[in-house]
Amino acid sequence: MASSQRLRAAVAGCTGYIGMQCVALLAAHPGVEVVRLLGRSWAGRRFSDAVPGSRVDLLVSDGLDPGAVDVVFAALPHTVAAAHAQQWIDGGVVVVDMSADFRLADAGEYQRWYGTAHPAPQLSERAVYGLVELARERLRTADLIAAPGCYPTAALLATVPALRAGLVEPRVIVDAKSGVSGAGRSPSLGVHFAEVNESVRAYGVDGHRHGGEILGRLRLEADAEVSLTFVPHLVPMTRGILATVYLQPRFGVGHDAISGVYREFCDAQPCLRYDERPPPTKSVLGSNVAAVNCTPQGDTMVVTVAIDNLVKGAAGQGVQAMNVRFDLPETSGLATASPWP
């Protein structure tokens, strides 16, 4: 890419919720030109016909010439992107994978959580986990970026600062609440308006894939064994995740020391915001911000983190990582404020 030019970007899987959010962000990004949209079910038709409210008129196609693009956002089902990734990378393309294929700290766990052998184990080592706040330097040279899952984004930002600093016990409870778009765009009874509206419920209590992702990353960050309980919940709203994390301070550690670590961590990062009160998810809708609060209750430190699951929890996070990778301003093309209400 010549420095005077804009990045040429493609989005694969462009008509799912994450894919279409990638398109929306990249199309409005001052340093990017969206040159190719891929999507099997919509191939041959215009993107703006698949996505109400879009003004991106590109035809959706079904195939990519790696020479024509600098970066691919792969918003595909797990195993699908992995099958293409090697070829794209060999063609000199930076791959931002929105799927789960390269997220697990230990690829050997893939079989357990995804029920099949890892589709591209040779690439696993090469992939950089794209939570910018934790891995900015490694991202600068990455050619395969694994964009974190939505729950892990919120859970890790809520947990890692205290855990890295050794201020809390390595025993973590994450009670997370997600809007319905986190389940993807495919119709099912589980996302039928009349089934989920006016209702909240826990799911995946006996084991959710994002629990495996979170735990692996926590172990790496703490460089120690960690115990994790992770319970996701479905909440009747379109977007947003709130992670409520329960941490036990180590003996002798004061609450102010812990919240101080979070304040410093947030102040140093353009996409984090420390709030004096627990943040409502609405306060980050549409933005790439994770809002963080620490409030003690008795012995326990309660950390809450709010994100937009499709932005900071997915597409925006991918753009943020791309910005770092290509030495663009980290928040370029990304909102860091959110209109209320």
Q: Hey, which residues between 113 and 172 contact a copy of itself (CB under 8 A)? A: none
Q: Which of 85, 285, 314, 322 binds a copy of itself (CB under 8 A)?
A: 285
Q: Which residue, 29 or 118, is less far from a copy of itself as judged by CB?
A: 29
- DSSP symbol at 59: B
Give the integer Cα–Cα distance in Å for 294 and 305: 9
Cβ(245)–Cβ(172) below 8 Å: yes
61-80 binders of a copy of itself (CB under 8 A): none
Here the tokens at position 278 are 């627990």
Q: Which of 61, 79, 86, 300 binds a copy of itself (CB under 8 A)?
A: 300
**Residue 114 Cα distances to 5, 68, 188, 194, angstroms:** 40, 32, 20, 29
DSSP string, 117-157: --S-HHHHTT-EE--HHHHHHHHTT-SEEEPPPHHHHHHHH
Binding mask 321-340 for a copy of itself (x = CB under 8 A): ---------------xxxxx
The residues assigned a catalytic role are 150
Least separation, in Å, of the C-beta of 255 and a copy of itself? Answer: 10
Query: Rule CB under 8 A: is residue 91 a binding residue for a copy of itself?
Result: no
Q: Which stretch binds a copy of itself (CB under 8 A): 35-43, 58-66, 116-124, 277-285?
A: 277-285
Least separation, in Å, of the C-beta of 33 and a copy of itself? Answer: 16
DSSP string, 277-305: SPPPGGGGTTSS-EEEEEEEETTEEEEEE
Give the integer Cα–Cα distance in Å for 104 and 108: 8
Binding mask 190-229 for a copy of itself (x = CB under 8 A): -xxxxxxxxxxxxx-xxx---x---------------xxx
176-195 binders of a copy of itself (CB under 8 A): 177, 179-181, 185, 187-189, 191-195
